[in-house]
Amino acid sequence: MSARALQQPLPLRLTSNVFLALWCLIAAFPIFWIMVQSFKTPVDAYDSNALNVILGPETLARGHGMSALQILLGIGAIWLTIRLASRTLPAFVRSSLNGKQQWLGWIIGALVLGVGSVVVLFGVVPWVSGVLNPMLGPLGVDVVGLTTEHYKTVWVERGFFRNFQNSLLITAGVVTISLSVGTLAGYGLARSGSKLAFWILIIALIFRALPHSVLVAGYLPVFISSSEWLAPIFGENAPTLYGKPFAVIAVLVAINQPFTIWMLRSFFQNIPAELDEAARVDGCSHFQAFRRVIMPVMWPGVITTGLFSFLLAYNDFLVTSLLLDAQNQTMVPAIAGMFNRETTTTDQVVAVAAAVSITAPLFFLVMVFQRQIVSGLTAGAVKG
């Protein structure tokens, strides 16, 4: 009886679905809109008529456009990417690789797919349609205005590529170090029921709540004058920590640590303690048990935690903007500088294109790792 009794009456189901559709619209609209704007000339991007922004007549008049064929090809390519990213890649990695290979498989697979989709969308599709357009008559005529010039401005002229490299360096550093330090601590804390372990977790919880600006206020004077107080150790070559990526990596790892150890601890607690006991009986030391027995079954948890470390490092504005100088700047503070400068509408659209460039990898990340992200969000919460 339960299935029928629990079923909602039709009007209620309809309202519920309408509201759900409305939520999806609200959730996706701002992101969708900046994406559309970034492909238009300034006049179209800031038109007050929504249809003009989407169709882009001014952009079309300037000779940048897409034909029906191109649109079809583009939609096909995007659909294929989504399909590959959300179904094929996860299924492939899960079924045919294990343990450490899986970790590598995720990274390489995601990278190949990301680069591949950019190449197909911006290289192959325009080329194919360039060949086919003249042959197709009405199908080959440009109908929607669309230009990639703002992306060229951002990545080539404004040197956004260097910011991208810095972001890559910092996120890669933060993820690897905070995972290696965090897994050790998470395992230790999960397996030890001592008072000390409990107090460390409580203190980590307090540390998680600290505003980052408080910590940066502590770092800044020390980092700026570091060549003086490091001189007794390093002599003449004492580095100034201010502006150095490795210093920022260390800072972000530490800020990330409380969250990482709480999350990893809850994943380790899900692995039965009998497993390490069995390994210990067979003569493993604690470290060997950790490395050979526990880590191989722990990879899903590590990947999930790694995702959240990645997000923290990639999204950070406060720490990187205060502790890095202009030449080592990452993408997010760089774009803040860009929109503060926006004087002409072209500058604004360029800033929009930069914003979309920052968002694209995250979009891709959600596609590939949706399941891991959801499991990470609920890991700490549902168990209380």
Rounded to 5°, the CA angle 88-93-94 comes to 100
**Interface map 33-72 toward other proteins (x if CB under 8 A):** xx--x--------x-x-x--x-------------------
| By the rule CB under 8 A, 23 interacts with other proteins | yes
Out of 139, 143, 230, 336, the residue judged to bind other proteins by CB under 8 A? 336
Residue 200 CB neighbour total at 10 angstroms = 17
Write the CB contacts of 38 (distance below 8 Å, at least 6 apart in sequence): 45, 150, 151, 349, 352, 353, 355, 356
Show contacts with other proteins in window 67-86 (CB under 8 A).
Answer: 86
| By the rule CB under 8 A, 373 interacts with other proteins | yes
Show contacts with other proteins in window 130-169 (CB under 8 A).
Answer: none
Show contacts with other proteins in window 167-226 (CB under 8 A).
Answer: 181-182, 184-185, 187-189, 191-194, 196-198, 200-222
Nearer to other proteins, 5 or 233 (CB): 5
| By the rule CB under 8 A, 370 interacts with other proteins | yes
Report how far residue 369's alpha carbon sits from residue 60's, in angstroms, rounded to the nearest whole number: 37
Show contacts with other proteins in window 292-321 (CB under 8 A).
Answer: 311, 314-315, 317-318
**Interface map 272-291 toward other proteins (x if CB under 8 A):** --------------xx--x-
Out of 19, 79, 161, 246, the residue judged to bind other proteins by CB under 8 A? 19
Structure tokens that stand for 322 in this block: 């205060």
SS3 of 142, please? strand
Cα-based distances in Å from 331 to 18, 99, 319, 320, 344: 37, 32, 13, 10, 21
In one letter, which amino acid is 194? S
Show contacts with other proteins in window 236-275 (CB under 8 A).
Answer: 250-251, 253-255, 257-258, 261
Nearer to other proteins, 132 or 321 (CB): 321
Q: In which element (H, E) is residue 100 found? A: helix 100-119
CB 122, min distance to other proteins, A: 21
Report how far residue 288's alpha carbon sits from residue 294's, in angstroms, rounded to the nearest whole number: 9
SS (H, E, C) 220-245: HHHHHCHHHHCHHHHHHHCCCCCCCH
Window of 16-24, 57-65, 131-139, 298-306 that interacts with other proteins by CB under 8 A: 16-24
Query: Is the distance from CB of 262 to CB of 205 less than 8 angstroms?
Result: yes
CB 164, min distance to other proteins, A: 14
